[in-house]
Structure 1
Amino acid sequence: MSSCSKRSRLPSCRPQPHSIREAILSTIYYPSQPARRRPRRFLHSLSCALLLLGSANLLAKTAPPKPVAAEESSAFASRQAALSALPPLMLWVGERPDDVRTWIDGSARQGKGAADSPAPSIQDQRMGVAVLDTTVLLRDGSASVRRRQQSLKLPPAWYAQNRLQQKAPVVTIVHIEMARGAHKPTLNERQKRTIVNAVVAAATRSPSQVVQLDFEVMHSQKPFLADVVKRSRDALPANVALSITALASWCVGDAWLADLPVDEVVPTAFHMDGEAKRMRDVLDHDGRFPRPECQPSLGLSLDEQPWPSKLRSQRLYLFNRNVWSGTPMASWSVRLGAIFP
């Protein structure tokens, strides 16, 4: 899910800073626009009105406490509940303009068995999105944070009052990109803190209360990743689930993932280079990887076919080299329906 590197899982453009949670109107993720300056006459009138209102409140009796907002009261009570509420099929969305409405609406209507059924509610979703929210670039001893800039169109039913509803099946992703060669990162304390802060910030923009860390490391760098995961878990609210992507090789015979305090491990069973045949043989044999922590979820790519003949994971993440808006769902509905009827 890298935004720039060759080993990237998520395709990229040029990321720019913005808040993915703030939406313009109803169906587009995009940075909020700066407010236009108001005329002085308007500001003067507004100030007078506020002063009068404040004076009246001083004379009034103490008002009862306001009820908790609907969005706050409807939050998942636990991270286990948040994770289990995600749909069985998740679309990975990279840093580029895209529109997933056709895929989302089509999957829900197929689930209802009626092509002309009304727009699906959040509870009806059989498909969600995991969107690249933040990229942290580690270079030498520094760490720079880039936030998403590209728009993403989502179903109108996922919005209320011009913002995403709480519990909408949208997972925010933090991707860690490491420079190579002469600028190989030192993996110092500052870089570690920057990653943890980025994960916590991305979690606040996740209506699903699930945040995903995408950090591909070499064997010698595993202790650094493990400490980042542990610190992230400690810093996140108790009701926010932490998901991580994992190399397929980490899920075959290597038990180090079992010690990480994560709620979901997503093995990326594609772009596996020299291990592709061995990993595919493992999946073809049992439909999942042998490590228990790697079994509930799985990541596959549309451009690597055929998929394993039998899949036993409860949740599938799909990578698409092309934009979802340019990929007809009809050509994939039969294959996806066979996996998740």
Structure 2
Amino acid sequence: MEEANKQRSGRSLLTVSGAFLLVASLLVGAAHHRAKENALKPISSASVTDSLAQGVAWIWPDSNGPRGVSGATAPYREAAVMAESLVLRADRVERGGRRQPLLLPAGVRLIPVIHVETATDAPDELAPVHRDAIIAAVNRQATATTAGAELLQLDFEAPARQRETYRALVVAIREALPAGTRLSVTALAHWCTQGDWLDKLPVDEIVPMLYRLGPHADEWRRRFTQRDPALARRCQGPALGFATNDPPSQQLLSLATRPYWFDESSWSNPSRPPLHPPR
């Protein structure tokens, strides 16, 4: 009888221990799931404001960007302003840009942005008329860099068929810039997974645009947050581009010591959204 009681007692202890381990495992799993969810949770609007105060505002035509409280510190450090827009067509270039004076808060440094698009009838290789128009825009805007951030940015979402043309254009822009003027380029997120060609560009800064990422947005953000080895080295910061209406997680934002911010509703809208294919 005593032996049977000991056996029953031992089985009870094992049952209690097993239940305890199961509950502990479930609690740890739940905590891990919450931590994972929190890591992907978008930052608050207040955090966006704090980040912008230390970063760059992308400002497109018909806007002067975010406005701070009168008399207060400027709400951002630098303004990347689309100074000229060029649409490349079969045998000509359509020019556009700002249609009103630019009014920036005192102390904000200017970064001229040259925005380039290719129409469907544009050739794979740039014709002299295309290249000359882009270089002329670079020369016009280069003078503004000396009084600003000493940086000029090319925003050109070149299609895959123009990859070699894009590389040659970046080299030509670099050669056209005055000594001391740095060159920045924007990059679509999926460009960062297509080998190391971005790492080889003769530029000082690459800014992946981590917004308007489509149905695979979470996957793209995860890859950048975790610094996926498949990403080009220079796509992993310090410059990353975000949108105020679709903010990143704190973990992803922490990788950008030089964040660029865009507001689609208030700072004017680019002509068309980029297309990001799945991985």
In 1, distance between residues paired with 2:220 and 2:202?
25
Quick check: 2:60–2:267 contact (8 Å CA) kept in 1?
Answer: no
By how many angstroms is 1:254 displaced? 2.1
Quick check: 2:57–2:76 contact (8 Å CA) kept in 1?
Answer: no
By how many angstroms is 1:300 displaced? 0.5
By how many angstroms is 1:203 displaced? 1.6
Quick one: which amino acid aligns to residue 109 of structure 2?
Answer: P
Structure 1 residues 308 and 288: CA distance shift in structure 2, 3 A = farther
The residue number in structure 1 matching 2:82 is 132
Please state if 1:204 is matched with 2:143. Answer: yes
Quick one: which amino acid aligns to residue 318 of structure 1?
Answer: W
The residue number in structure 1 matching 2:240 is 298
Summarize deviations over 1:284-309 as a string: whole Å, max 9, x none.
Answer: 32499842222220001111145353
Structure 1 residues 291 and 269: CA distance shift in structure 2, 3 A = same
By how many angstroms is 1:185 displaced? 4.4
The residue number in structure 1 matching 2:100 is 150
The residue number in structure 2 matching 1:94 is 60
Q: Which of 299-308 and 130-139 deviates more?
A: 299-308
Please state if 1:221 is matched with 2:162. Answer: yes
Aligned length: 211
Please state if 1:285 is matched with 2:251. Answer: no
Quick one: which amino acid aligns to residue 299 of structure 1?
Answer: G
The residue number in structure 1 matching 2:251 is 309
The residue number in structure 2 matching 1:64 is none
SS in 2 for 1:98: coil
**Unpaired runs of at least 5, structure 2:** 1-52, 269-279
Structure number, greater radius of gyration: 2
TM norm structure 2? 0.67
1:12-161 to 2 correspondence within 5 Å? Answer: 88-102=54-68, 108=73, 127-155=77-105, 157-158=106-107
Quick check: 2:57–2:65 contact (8 Å CA) kept in 1?
Answer: no
Structure 1 residues 304 and 184: CA distance shift in structure 2, 3 A = same
Quick check: 1:287–1:312 contact (8 Å CA) kept in 2?
Answer: no
| Among 176, 181, 191, the residue aligned to 2:116 | 176
Please state if 1:259 is matched with 2:200. Answer: yes
SS in 2 for 1:258: coil
Quick check: 2:64–2:104 contact (8 Å CA) kept in 1?
Answer: no
The residue number in structure 1 matching 2:191 is 250
The residue number in structure 2 matching 1:321 is 264
By how many angstroms is 1:147 displaced? 3.6
In 2, distance between residues paired with 1:288 and 1:101?
39
Quick one: which amino acid aligns to residue 128 of structure 1?
Answer: E
Quick check: 1:104–1:128 contact (8 Å CA) kept in 2?
Answer: no
| Among 210, 216, 226, the residue aligned to 1:269 | 210
By how many angstroms is 1:193 displaced? 2.0
Structure 1 residues 92 and 312: CA distance shift in structure 2, 3 A = same
**Unpaired runs of at least 5, structure 1:** 1-86, 109-119, 159-167, 326-341
Structure 1 residues 275 and 222: CA distance shift in structure 2, 3 A = farther
Give the root-mean-square deviation of aligned CA atoms. Answer: 2.8
In 2, distance between residues paired with 1:104 and 1:208?
24
In 1, distance between residues paired with 2:113 and 2:199?
21
Quick one: which amino acid aligns to residue 314 of structure 1?
Answer: T
In 2, distance between residues paired with 1:147 and 1:98?
13
In 1, distance between residues paired with 2:213 and 2:234?
19
